[in-house]
Amino acid sequence: MADADIVFKSGTELASLIKTRQLSSVDVVRAYLARIDALNPKLNAFITITSEEAIARARQADKEIAAGRYRGPLHGLPYAPKDILATKGLRTTNGSKVTSDWVPAYESTITSRLNKAGAILIGKLNLLEFAMGSGVLSGFGPARNPWDLEHSPGGSSSGSGVALAACLTPLAVGTDTGGSIRVPAALCGIVGLKQTYGRVSRYGVTTLSWTLDHAGPMTKTVADAAMMLQAIAGPDPRDATAAHVPVPDYSKALTGDITGLRVGVPTSYFFDGNAEEVKAVRTAVDKLRGMGAAIVPVDVPHANLAGSAGWIIAMAEGACFHEKRLKDTPELFDPLVRERLEAAKFYPATDYIKSMRVRTILMDEMAQVFRKCDVMAVPGGGPAARLDTPDRARSDIKPGSSAPPFRGGNTFLGDMTGLPALTIPCGFTAGPPVLPLSIQFYGKPFDEATLFRVSHAYESATDWHKRRPPLAAGSTRTTAAAAQSMR
């Protein structure tokens, strides 16, 4: 099978071929490494590439499968985590010059579980510094959106979004404190799941905000996200916030049937964004109605506070977490990250606590919403804006513009309430450039299954997820050797 035929397949398609030995894990890993070799110089999605180790593990996987020791659908499949997940013995940079040489002595629970399930780490993905910078001036430079190299891929899981959209990996892991899984998913046209707070352990994930951080799957299809969550979900004695809540069989939710499902659509706030995306989301909602869903109006009266209060919490906790590094090596931080963290030192404790009370209000309001519906649909947050110039990326104070109040409630709502949310593509801008548009579904606590049900049904009835960026559409077979390991 040609490399291009391999890398354009979804994770679940590849899993089936590997299980039945129609395709070897080595072939799959080599195909992705060749594609990384060809496209990463333009896209800057990977910070570290683990070619030799990945091929060795793929050989091992092929041997195990041939011997009848198949571990499950992730066995032999490549994956790449955001470089903020600790990997034992492998450099973990957090996208920052501050920690550019850090080699952890421990493994994050997520990568540990993926490795145990037989998945093969092929490298580590670029990000905005410490999950909060601009990306432009971070330690490793910005990842580039394959739909248009001059447009932002979103963040902070920028490399994860880019790598999936350009088919450099079938599976990725991101983290989300204010939207950092869902925004790059929206801007790159892929699937991003921020599951319920507590559903997945954060052990070994570098903190931005203890009370807001999540880590979860980023994939090309909904079925892939379900497959990944199945492997990484569940309690963990090393993370007290990982909840003891049973993990259902998510594959059972992928029925394609949404008859009778109640889809809530907010009547205010959420639909004030980009007109093309709003139109695409309303069209998607009509599609769901046509598939048998009941559309019901809902309201989240204080949604407009989610972004502002979330920002206060995230930056205050971030400033506390980075206190020593900020004191010891402030010059190594991205200027924007430093500005945000130093400013946060002056945030009054009362503002922080009041923001935590806003969380209670939002949680109560979302509980009311979910008395009326099973999922809530809102725009995902696209399309992508142009990448900042280095001059503008240095500060939140943008030359020549009066600063608007912070907005970001469409995604911050999920982190503030801990509720699960999943973003999938639902259209494209007219262009040029042609850029992805997305819809985001919110669900009840620990009810990721219903998010999979509705998004998989929508995905099955549309072809947005099958479109490829021009840069990534053709064959990229290269004669160059696979990228050198940076270990």
Q: Which listed residue (96, 308, 410, 438) binds other proteins by CB under 8 A? A: 308
Q: Does residue 391 bind other proteins (CB under 8 A)?
A: no
Q: How far apart are CA 161 and CA 183, in angstroms?
A: 9
Q: Are 438 and 422 in contact (CB under 8 A)?
A: no
**Is 398 annotated in the active site?**
no
Residue 332 CB, nearest approach to other proteins (Å): 15
Which one of 91-99, 220-228, 288-296, 309-317 is the stretch in contact with other proteins (CB under 8 A)?
Answer: 309-317
Q: Which of residues 210-269 bind other proteins (CB under 8 A)?
A: 210-211, 237-238, 240-241
State in angstroms the smallest separation of the CB of 201 from other proteins.
12
The C-alpha angle with vertex 275 and arms to 262 and 429, in degrees rounded to 5, equals 100
CB of 449 to other proteins, least distance (A): 23
Do 23 and 1 contact (CB within 8 A), yes or no? yes
Residue 466 Ramachandran class (φ > 0 left, ψ -120 to 50 alpha, else beta): alpha
Question: Could you give the CA distance from residue 376 to residue 263 in angstroms, rounded to a whole number?
Answer: 6
309, 393, 435, 451: which one contacts other proteins (CB under 8 A)? 309
Tokens 């920028």 identify what position? 158
Q: How far is the CB of 416 from other proteins (least distance, A)?
A: 9
- Judged by CB under 8 A, which of 67, 105, 275, 403 binds other proteins? 403
Q: In what order do the strands lie in the sheet containing 436-443?
A: 120-121, 78-81, 171-176, 214-219, 191-194, 421-428, 436-443, 375-379, 262-266, 294-298
- When binding is defined by CB under 8 A, the residue of 13, 53, 64, 342 that contacts other proteins is 342
Nearer to other proteins, 238 or 468 (CB): 238
Number of residues binding to other proteins, judged by CB under 8 A: 42
The nearest distance, CB 254 to other proteins, in angstroms, is 31
The dihedral formed by the CA atoms of 35, 39, 45 and 50, expressed in degrees to the nearest 10? 40
**Interface pick for other proteins out of 41, 68, 246, 405 (rule CB under 8 A):** 405
- Helices (H) and strands (E) counted in the chain, each on its own, are 17, 12
Residue with Cβ nearer other proteins (82 or 359): 359
Q: Are strands 375-379 and 436-443 parallel, antiparallel or unpaired?
A: antiparallel
Integer angstrom CA distances of residue 415 from 176, 210, 452 = 8, 11, 19
CA distance 427 to 400: 33
Min. distance of Cβ 236 from other proteins in angstroms? 10
* Catalytic residue check, 460: no
d(C-alpha 392, C-alpha 47), whole Å: 24
Q: How far is the CB of 419 from other proteins (least distance, A)?
A: 13
- Cα→Cα distances 119→114, 452, 468, Å: 5, 22, 25
CB of 7 vs other proteins, minimal distance in Å: 39
Calpha distance 433→256 (Å, rounded) = 32
Q: Which is nearer to other proteins, 66 or 353 (CB)?
A: 353
Select from 67, 105, 397, 430 the one that contacts other proteins (CB under 8 A).
Answer: 397
Q: Of the candidates 302, 325, 467, 468, which one interacts with other proteins according to CB under 8 A?
A: 302
Residues across the chain? 487
CB 421 within 8 A of CB 409: no
Interacting residue with other proteins among 60, 100, 274, 395 (CB under 8 A)? 395
Q: Which is nearer to other proteins, 1 or 210 (CB)?
A: 210
156 included as an active-site residue: yes
Report DSSP state, residue 322: T
- Residue 63 touching other proteins (CB under 8 A): no
Hey, which residues between 311 and 340 contact other proteins (CB under 8 A)? 311-312, 327, 339-340
Site string for other proteins, 348-387 (x = CB under 8 A): ---x-xxxxxxxxx-x------------------------
φ/ψ of residue 172, rounded to 5: -140, 165
Comparison of 8 and 442: residue with beta carbon closer to other proteins: 442
Residue 184 phi/psi, 5-degree rounding, is: -65, -30
DSSP SS3 for 239: strand
d(CA 210, CA 208): 7
Q: Which is nearer to other proteins, 76 or 179 (CB)?
A: 179
Q: Which is nearer to other proteins, 110 or 190 (CB)?
A: 110
* Residue 94 · residue 128 · CB < 8 Å: no
Active-site entry in 51, 112, 134, 180:
180
Footprint of other proteins (CB under 8 A): 197, 210-211, 237-238, 240-241, 302, 304-305, 307-309, 311-312, 327, 339-340, 342-343, 345-347, 351, 353-361, 363, 395-397, 402-406
Active-site residue list? 82, 156, 180
